[in-house]
Amino acid sequence: MADAAGSETGRVLIAADKFKGSLTAVEVAERVTSGLRRAAPGVRVEALPVADGGDGTVDAAVAAGFERREVVVSGPLGAPLTAAFALRGTAAVVEMAEASGLQHLPPGVFAPLTATTYGTGELIRAALDAGARTVVFGVGGSATTDGGAGMLAALGARFLDEDGDPLADGGGPLRELATADLSGLDPRIADTEFVLASDVDNPLTGPKGAPAVYGPQKGASEEDVETLDAALAHYARVLEEAIGPKAAEYALSPGAGAAGGIGYGALVGLGAGFRPGIEVMLDVLGFAAALATADLVITGEGSLDAQTLHGKAPAGVAAAARARGKRVVAVCGRRTLDDATLATAGISRAYALTDLEPDPRLCIANAGPLLEQTAERLAARELRN
């Protein structure tokens, strides 16, 4: 096969993220594969669903050969729920959204001051119990802004008020924090490598911090944002008293503000190292090996927009593919990036569902069939026998 310019295209690699609210990354790959094969029956396709550390990260790891493990943990409001992590040998992929994500809140219900990451700590403990000694910790899509205090409490840390009583759940009560004691953290943490995988490089507090930038998405009012920002700043000061100046340094570090500040908790309490989520996940998923034999790479996500360029999966896939001289096109629900901007990111062309159905609501409702049709259009232009 050859593209319109005559270059040979013998093998297609589909490395797309989810279309949030309509299709998982696995479903995106299935629909694109179906459309390609309908238009070009002889095309050779490999699917490698990807994620950038947010929701869908465990599913991507399972699709790449990890074993799915399930455990009952505390949800963001404290109610029990079943969450999953992925395991292969002594390597685990833990996704905080599985335990503490917005999807676990009832429709229309938010708890910006009281939602907890305790269940995420329980999920990490389950991974340690399963023998994990390397943990890729994907963060994003959280319902919480507690700086990871709940997570650390589940792993043995103690956060006490002036009377020596444990603090209530959530970020709001952190303003009452008097004593932080990390000495009781699970000793296995010291022997485990934690990689904080996120597409967010915000600090913990301030104008670009977790409460100001992401609090409103979790239902925080202007007053709530101020409360949470002050509470997290106080939390960092108390931790500085407990473990020294590195606590203050971590609060300013890239990734500290990820997922309501759980990034900070991972840096301070787990000794995690921060890396852009898509880079980590491409390593975990074996992207380099799949890319080596590909002639065309198809990436994508629900919306190709300005956020895409800041650490989202399609940009990471395109950058890695371009470094190997591979041609990249994208599929998406909608796009706000023009061709020139996409080209600078390494994406030669994008195919949007809204090209076929301008109504966004209908696009979401019929995303699967529309994506198959889009893949047929892509094949007609990018592939030919």
Q: What single string gives the DSSP state of each residue in 258-313?
A: HHHHHHHHHHHHS-PEEEEHHHHHHHHHTHHHHHHT-SEEEEEEEEESGGGGTT-H
Full-model pTM: 0.91
One digit per residue, pLDDT tens: the chain, 385 residues? 444 433 445 799 999 999 988 999 999 999 999 999 999 998 999 999 999 888 899 999 999 999 999 999 999 999 999 999 999 999 999 999 999 999 999 999 999 999 999 999 999 999 999 999 999 999 989 999 999 999 999 999 999 999 999 999 999 999 999 999 999 999 999 999 999 999 888 999 999 999 999 999 999 999 999 999 999 999 999 999 999 999 999 999 999 999 999 999 999 999 999 999 999 999 999 999 999 999 999 999 999 999 898 889 999 999 999 999 999 999 999 999 999 999 999 999 999 999 999 999 999 999 999 999 999 999 999 986 4
Give residue for tokens 């908790």.
265
The one-character DSSP state at 98 is: H
Maximum pairwise Cα distance, the chain: 75
- What was the pLDDT predicted at 239? 98
* Beta strands 80-88 and 67-74, pairing class: antiparallel
- What was the pLDDT predicted at 138? 96
135 sits in the region (left: phi over 0; alpha: psi -120 to 50; else beta) called beta
Q: Cβ(302)–Cβ(18) under 8 Å?
A: yes
- What was the pLDDT predicted at 296? 97
